[in-house]
Chain A
Amino acid sequence: NAGVTQTPKFQVLKTGQSMTLQCAQDMNHEYMSWYRQDPGMGLRLIHYSVGAGITDQGEVPNGYNVSRSTTEDFPLRLLSAAPSQTSVYFCASGTTKGGYTFGSGTRLTVV
């Protein structure tokens, strides 16, 4: 039981490049979410999903896309990276019965 696995752990992108941050969970959790963590801003919700095929926007969705084709996977896509997207990204999964389990994070730098 690996919990929530995020890849990659570190990434440097050039402005305008695209990439996908991967997130997988093996706990059969219904809910999955993506957050970005910035100094002084706490964790801000980007997108979330309540089940396969269902996604919704969070607090800061602009510049990011998601899809949930399976219960296990919830990738986050940056279509055209900008320096403002430099951040630490956390994926989390949870259920109605308990709190969320977080991944170890992806540190993204956009230059």
Chain B
Amino acid sequence: AQRVTQPEKLLSVFKGAPVELKCNYSYSGSPELFWYVQYSRQRLQLLLRHISRESIKGFTADLNKGETSFHLKKPFAQEEDSAMYYCALTSLGNTGKLIFGQGTTLQVKP
């Protein structure tokens, strides 16, 4: 079965501090992992896709198959990063079934 776990409901950091949002997954096949972001009362937007290995808005994420993790990192948090972040999983090649974690609210304090 597919499962995504984000253990932190809330992560609060000061501006300029490093950020790591944790994501662990359970999946028996070859996974494809994503990070989505939702700013206050807006629609979800794609932030990162692991196979593209891009860095968006200073965020990066590396898929660790040994630890079944896909943690989101940013070296220096900005106030505009405050949002809800969701980790999501589908099978490699995307079979259409995209499962999300519970989400983590990132609060960046001035």
Contact = CB atoms under 8 A, between A and B. Distances in A.
The number of chain B residues touching the other chain, given as a range, is 20 to 34
Contact of B43 (A48, A90, A99): A90
Contacts of A56: 96-97
B99 interface: yes
From DSSP, what is the main secondary structure of chain B's interface residues?
loop
B103 A31 contact: no
A96 B93 contact: yes
Interface in B17-52: 34, 36, 42-46, 49
Contacts of B9: 40
The number of chain A residues touching the other chain, given as a range, is 20 to 34
Interface of B: 6, 9, 34, 36, 42-46, 49, 86, 93-103
